[in-house]
Structure 1
Amino acid sequence: MDIRNIAIIAHVDHGKTTLVDRILHTTKVFRENQDTGELIMDSNDLERERGITIFSKNAAVEYKGVKINVIDTPGHADFGGEVERVLKMADGVILLVDAFEGPMPQTRFVLQKALQLNLKPIVVINKVDKPNCRPDEVHDAVFELFFNLDATEEQLDFPTYYGSGKNGWFNDSLTQSEDIMPLMDGILKHVPPPVVSEGSLQLQITSLDYSSFLGRIAIGKVSRGTIKEGQPISLMQTDGVKKSRVRELYVFEGMGKKKVQEVVAGDLCAVVGLEDFNIGDTIADFENPEALPVISVDEPTMNMQFSINNSPFFGKDGKFVTSRHLRDRLIKETEKNLALKVVDTDSADSFMVYGRGILHLGILIETMRREGHELTIGQPQVITKEIDGKKCEPYETLVVDVPQEYASKVIDLVTRRKGEMLVMETKGEMQHLEFDIPSRGLLGLRTSMLTNTAGEAVMNHRFSEYKPWKGPIPGRNNGVLIAKEAGSTTAYSIDKLQDRGFFFVDPGEEVYRGMIIGENNKPGDLVVNPNEGKKLTNMRASGSDGTVSLPPKRLMTLEECMEYIQQDECIEVTPNYIRMRKVILDEEERKRQQKRMSAEAV
């Protein structure tokens, strides 16, 4: 059967998953009366809540007698590890670009990976129905991007399609067509069939799946030869060769998998029955095994300390609370999350976890807490390196689109955090700004930027390179309000403390000594007692005993907490609560520690 393998790549929110929906509906994967909803491929709860793709997924459709394997990839820079490895399964890519925003930082990142793998690109300019869109300018910008990324003559001669995934049409010109058939025909015409070399079996494992019934499942593309059910094979790993046997074989069909007897070179398949395999391993011939080059993934740029929950509320909320639970879960995550690294520390209760960024680590923590884990996480730190005898740190390219009246505030915020402006241009009513900024400077920047631009700023960033250390970057300006003792907060106390700052807790919430309950209006931390009740007498005065009117507490998401905390603070994460606290809960002990550190510094 004729086969095409195509990956869909784009910046976050440019419409990849919506395009996959259209392909699935056009090729009649579902019954006419079947209610599928939207964003069919984003099946994970976290993906649906956040409206982003986190895990790459496969679907297979049949169009005009040709099987098309479609791979939906994440658009966020933090999940670049997912994109890099699944591109190995594709022979062509659809580069999706928003007709207003044009190529964004992540577009550049994934396109560069695709061009290096010599994949055939098709450019799709989406959302041409949006007001003030500029498809022609965007087409020129995409061509310029290809040129800057050293695309070959053949790659520069890319076909372009215009349309709207939401309205269900794509055409090779700006005139509206009936449906997405012109694009489907373009895939058959421009994407080459898989290139198959002669020789014995080779299949590189590029993705993992798990079934409680079948166990771990290896997914990859058969590069050459044929793989059959029951066939003995060699599993080529970095540290040696294991002999094994294929128990069951599946190919992708629609949204699911279909059991088959054999799979020929060029098709994607799922293999059941292998023990202890890793991503990047090669399934090869039993007699004459030959390995494929190991998949390389960009290194992590940030680390965080994960430890067991050691707060006074330990064990009240979660199922998994011991260091053994924490260790097993983190090791399990590294099997399928290539960009993640876990290292033991001096303490048996703590682990250092290395990842691509705040979102990458935040998704892991959010997933763990939903599974019932309790843990404490420290402040995110960037990973420094020594290059040519100099201390170097990771830098990122930061792109901000903001209404013109707020542009000066954005420039001021970024330059204070050691950012340098590279580009400033006008896009319609928006100002387009590009900066080079140390990764440290991005911690906490999103919150202050949204506050200063009335929520109008759209900010994106991606790792660029390591450069010399830029020196200290100012962190949070204000101190925090810390609970003096354990107990239940009262409206009376919080009302009396209103002029000290704003609160992260409501009346009636349980707090403990050393827990962060609000932000101080001034620099420096302040220990307060939020649990004091009103002294009652039997005398009443009309008007003075009215109900207390309090503003609602400020809700902080997990990522906002990660950006907010300082060196001596940490976050307690449980299935139902996210609490910020001091690492040392006792106030006297904290003061002694500060004195010791000051003495050492002198």
Structure 2
Amino acid sequence: MNIRNIAIIAHVDHGKTTLVDKIIHATQVFRDNQETGELIMDNNDLERERGITILAKNISVNYKGVKINVIDTPGHADFGGEVERVLKMADGVLLLVDAFEGPMPQTRFVLQKALNLGLHPIVVINKVDKPNCRPDEVHDAVFELFFQLDATEDQLNFPTLYGSSKQGWFNTSLTPTDNINAVLDMILEKVPAPKVNEGTLQMQITSLDYSSFLGRIAIGRVSRGVVAEGQNIQLCKLDGSMVRGKVKELYTFEGMGKKRVTEVSAGDICAVVGIEGFQIGETIADFEQPEALPVIAIDEPTMNMQFSINNSPFFGREGKFVTSRNLRDRLMKELEKNLALRVQDTDDADKFLVYGRGILHLSVLIETMRREGYELTVGQPQVITKEINGQKCEPYEVLVVDVPSDFSGKVIDLVTQRKGEMLIMESKGEMQHLEFDVPSRGLIGLRSQMLTATAGEAVMAHRFSEYKPWKGVIPGRNNGVLIAKQAGSSTGYSLDKLQDRGSFFIDPGEEVYAGMIVAEHIKPGDLNVNVVEGKKLTNMRASGSDAATNIAPKIQMSLEECMEYIQQDECIECTPQSIRLRKILLDENDRVKYAKAMKTS
């Protein structure tokens, strides 16, 4: 069969999407005079802004008469659910590793999934044009990683390519060439054609697409038999039941788009239109003798957050969707394609518990909802605890930090304060490589502190390892906050007088409400302040002459930084145009009563 199915996996920022760009150009998917730009596969606004891949995508290219289906996967462990479901479509993996950094925690996470599925690996050591790169050491480290992950004899005998996606060359040695054909030739040579089992139709749905004309589209790889237009099928549901259906239209992938066909045989990836009510992981099977494929195993979420309607005084000013029904419908829709997410109803109809893989996983969902016109309030992220053998246990992660040697002491100090234990400390040139075992709770809010302590030099990555006994209280934020006493527009006069009390999150002229967090206090403990007081008119000068006040610019925090910053009695108001920090109880007297009640209990 002239088909190869290959997934590209790597740690974030090791160059997956750039390599896919080069494959697209090398196989002339576009006309020579067509304007394509960079990072062609990252077509989602959030992906382009952040420079990361969030959703797995597939394209197909033709090389030497062979059709190669290429699947671009995310590098963040937070989006591991995306990787777990699409690896089922591949027969081989292209493991991309940075020639300086070597295998990182998330490389290990995705590679383990690929090796367990018996996929054939090709290792590509990328960015060999970087100064202080060490391709030979990295090659040894990759071999060691394969060995640790119990790779088979065949998998350990992996071929290796060296090169630079950015400069557009790859070779079996370190000698630069002028093209990336070595990668494509290696795929044809080392990745086997899809195995085709004898028997009736079986196709597992591993992805879904949506079209306003065609409705929901099921995407997957035909693992057995043939699927044809107009064919009657049975949909094997996750609960074991069967639903009858009919294939209305059938598409295969060609270049960046889809091409309509009449039938697709086993081994190819296709898109099926016309099946109602399917979910990812279900099997499209033969009408007469339906047989289901094993369900895709997805790792459990490790963190949850409370999502609720926006109940601040500024409710409904900016968003289109503000009711709890809107919020619930949107979260249920997200569950269809986001396999690592869980949503649970609470006693309060306006609040939902949303479980995810990590802060980035949940923040991408919140950011997407904001852009779609939703208003919501989200609480502090909490880790999910379990009881194992009668003992309370929490998730632990392996934290890897690469930092200049001068700052290593500060990093060790910061992590040990958060109940982390050092596992490895070794030198990599001028950099110090540190590995820690740390509770997931300890990582919340650690990144910003670490970047401050290391002058922005620390490179931090982490991945879930296992559940272990609860480590006790981990110190949170050191400083309190300044809270607005009353509603109105903040004035330069008030902010100027309060500058020595803390660092502000607002500028003069911004509207505030009572209970809104306006600044970080320089001391522990919260303080209620009046930021809307104007200068009184005197017979000496007009109340408007405030030109002489020198106010420091406000602190700009991203959504993830806000999620890591807030404490248990605080929440974030997210609307299409604003992100505001606030206390859950807006009234000052209510907060005092609640604090007293907590002390007595």
TM > 0.5: yes
Q: How does 1:529-568 map to 2 (within 5 A)?
A: 529-540=530-541, 547-568=548-569
Residue 175 (structure 2) pairs with residue 175 (structure 1): yes
Distance in structure 2 (CA, Å) of the matches to 1:333 and 1:57: 17
User: Where does residue 49 of structure 2 map in the other structure?
Assistant: 49
| TM-superposed deviation, 1:545 | 6.5
Give 2:504's aligned amino acid: F
Distance in structure 2 (CA, Å) of the matches to 1:428 and 1:286: 62
User: Where does residue 115 of structure 2 map in the other structure?
Assistant: 115
Of residues 33-42 and 532-541 in structure 1, the stretch that sits farther from structure 2 once superposed is: 532-541
Write the deviation string for residues 384-410 of structure 1: whole angstroms up to 9, x where unpaired: 000000000000010111111111000
Distance in structure 2 (CA, Å) of the matches to 1:78 and 1:175: 36
Distance in structure 1 (CA, Å) of the matches to 2:312 and 2:172: 60
| TM-superposed deviation, 1:547 | 1.7
User: Where does residue 362 of structure 1 map in the other structure?
Assistant: 363
User: Where does residue 210 of structure 2 map in the other structure?
Assistant: 210
- The size of the alignment, in residue pairs, is 598
* Contact kept? 1:571, 1:579, Cα under 8 Å: yes
| TM-superposed deviation, 1:539 | 1.0
User: Where does residue 185 of structure 2 map in the other structure?
Assistant: 185
Q: How does 1:388-537 map to 2 (within 5 A)?
A: 388-537=389-538
| TM-superposed deviation, 1:177 | 1.3
| TM-superposed deviation, 1:428 | 1.6
Q: How does 1:59-208 map to 2 (within 5 A)?
A: 59-208=59-208
Per the alignment, in what secondary structure is the counterpart of residue 68 of structure 2? Answer: strand
Per the alignment, in what secondary structure is the counterpart of residue 219 of structure 1? Answer: strand
| TM-superposed deviation, 1:537 | 1.1
Distance in structure 1 (CA, Å) of the matches to 2:181 and 2:502: 59
Distance in structure 1 (CA, Å) of the matches to 2:546 and 2:60: 68
Per the alignment, in what secondary structure is the counterpart of residue 556 of structure 2? Answer: coil
| TM-superposed deviation, 1:538 | 2.3
* Contact kept? 1:250, 1:259, Cα under 8 Å: yes
Distance in structure 1 (CA, Å) of the matches to 2:87 and 2:379: 34
Give 1:552's aligned amino acid: P
Distance in structure 2 (CA, Å) of the matches to 1:282 and 1:125: 37
Give 1:338's aligned amino acid: L
Of residues 545-554 and 64-73 in structure 1, the stretch that sits farther from structure 2 once superposed is: 545-554
Give 1:158's aligned amino acid: F
Distance in structure 1 (CA, Å) of the matches to 2:340 and 2:157: 33
Distance in structure 2 (CA, Å) of the matches to 1:503 and 1:34: 48
Under a length normalisation based on structure 2, what TM-score does the superposition of the two structures give?
Answer: 0.99
Distance in structure 2 (CA, Å) of the matches to 1:576 and 1:311: 15
Distance in structure 2 (CA, Å) of the matches to 1:339 and 1:111: 18
| TM-superposed deviation, 1:182 | 1.3
* Contact kept? 1:345, 1:352, Cα under 8 Å: yes
Distance in structure 1 (CA, Å) of the matches to 2:178 and 2:570: 57
User: Where does residue 236 of structure 2 map in the other structure?
Assistant: 236
Per the alignment, in what secondary structure is the counterpart of residue 411 of structure 1? Answer: helix
User: Where does residue 585 of structure 2 map in the other structure?
Assistant: 584
Write the deviation string for residues 359-414 of structure 1: whole angstroms up to 9, x where unpaired: 00000000000000000000000000000000000000101111111110000000
% identical equivalent positions: 77
Write the deviation string for residues 237-275 of structure 1: whole angstroms up to 9, x where unpaired: 022000000010000000000000000000000000010
- After superposition, the Cα gap between the structure-2 partners of 1:160 and 1:489, relative to the gap in structure 1 and judged at 3 Å, is same
Give 1:474's aligned amino acid: P
* Contact kept? 1:396, 1:439, Cα under 8 Å: yes
| TM-superposed deviation, 1:546 | 5.1
* Contact kept? 2:488, 2:512, Cα under 8 Å: yes
Distance in structure 2 (CA, Å) of the matches to 1:177 and 1:156: 27
* Contact kept? 2:492, 2:546, Cα under 8 Å: no
Give 1:188's aligned amino acid: L
Distance in structure 1 (CA, Å) of the matches to 2:587 and 2:180: 64
Write the deviation string for residues 49-84 of structure 1: whole angstroms up to 9, x where unpaired: 000000000000000000000000000010000001
Distance in structure 1 (CA, Å) of the matches to 2:526 and 2:294: 54
* Contact kept? 1:323, 1:348, Cα under 8 Å: yes
Per the alignment, in what secondary structure is the counterpart of residue 497 of structure 1? Answer: helix
Per the alignment, in what secondary structure is the counterpart of residue 473 of structure 1? Answer: coil
Give 2:519's aligned amino acid: G
Distance in structure 1 (CA, Å) of the matches to 2:252 and 2:29: 15
* Contact kept? 1:172, 1:183, Cα under 8 Å: no
User: Where does residue 379 of structure 1 map in the other structure?
Assistant: 380
* Structure 2 unaligned blocks of 5 or more: none
Distance in structure 2 (CA, Å) of the matches to 1:536 and 1:549: 20
* Contact kept? 2:571, 2:581, Cα under 8 Å: yes
Give 1:34's aligned amino acid: Q
* Contact kept? 1:93, 1:119, Cα under 8 Å: yes
- After superposition, the Cα gap between the structure-2 partners of 1:468 and 1:234, relative to the gap in structure 1 and judged at 3 Å, is same
User: Where does residue 23 of structure 2 map in the other structure?
Assistant: 23
Distance in structure 1 (CA, Å) of the matches to 2:442 and 2:582: 23
User: Where does residue 288 of structure 2 map in the other structure?
Assistant: 287
- After superposition, the Cα gap between the structure-2 partners of 1:49 and 1:545, relative to the gap in structure 1 and judged at 3 Å, is closer
Give 1:199's aligned amino acid: G
Distance in structure 2 (CA, Å) of the matches to 1:545 and 1:285: 78
Distance in structure 2 (CA, Å) of the matches to 1:373 and 1:529: 30
Give 1:559's aligned amino acid: E
- After superposition, the Cα gap between the structure-2 partners of 1:545 and 1:12, relative to the gap in structure 1 and judged at 3 Å, is closer
Write the deviation string for residues 100-147 of structure 1: whole angstroms up to 9, x where unpaired: 000000000000000000000000000000000000000000000000
Per the alignment, in what secondary structure is the counterpart of residue 479 of structure 2? Answer: coil
* Contact kept? 2:54, 2:74, Cα under 8 Å: yes
Per the alignment, in what secondary structure is the counterpart of residue 177 of structure 1? Answer: coil
| TM-superposed deviation, 1:540 | 4.0
Distance in structure 2 (CA, Å) of the matches to 1:492 and 1:518: 16
Under a length normalisation based on structure 1, what TM-score does the superposition of the two structures give?
Answer: 0.99
- After superposition, the Cα gap between the structure-2 partners of 1:213 and 1:545, relative to the gap in structure 1 and judged at 3 Å, is closer
Give 1:319's aligned amino acid: K
Distance in structure 2 (CA, Å) of the matches to 1:419 and 1:580: 29
- After superposition, the Cα gap between the structure-2 partners of 1:546 and 1:23, relative to the gap in structure 1 and judged at 3 Å, is closer
Give 1:539's aligned amino acid: M
Distance in structure 2 (CA, Å) of the matches to 1:145 and 1:471: 33
Give 1:310's aligned amino acid: N
* Contact kept? 1:304, 1:380, Cα under 8 Å: yes
Distance in structure 1 (CA, Å) of the matches to 2:381 and 2:546: 46
RMSD: 0.9
Distance in structure 2 (CA, Å) of the matches to 1:332 and 1:152: 40
Distance in structure 2 (CA, Å) of the matches to 1:100 and 1:250: 41
Write the deviation string for residues 464-513 of structure 1: whole angstroms up to 9, x where unpaired: 10000000000000000000000000000000001101100000000000
Distance in structure 2 (CA, Å) of the matches to 1:478 and 1:597: 20
Give 1:469's aligned amino acid: W
* Contact kept? 2:493, 2:546, Cα under 8 Å: no
Per the alignment, in what secondary structure is the counterpart of residue 233 of structure 2? Answer: strand
Distance in structure 2 (CA, Å) of the matches to 1:347 and 1:569: 18
- After superposition, the Cα gap between the structure-2 partners of 1:230 and 1:529, relative to the gap in structure 1 and judged at 3 Å, is same
Distance in structure 2 (CA, Å) of the matches to 1:183 and 1:50: 27
Per the alignment, in what secondary structure is the counterpart of residue 143 of structure 2? Answer: helix
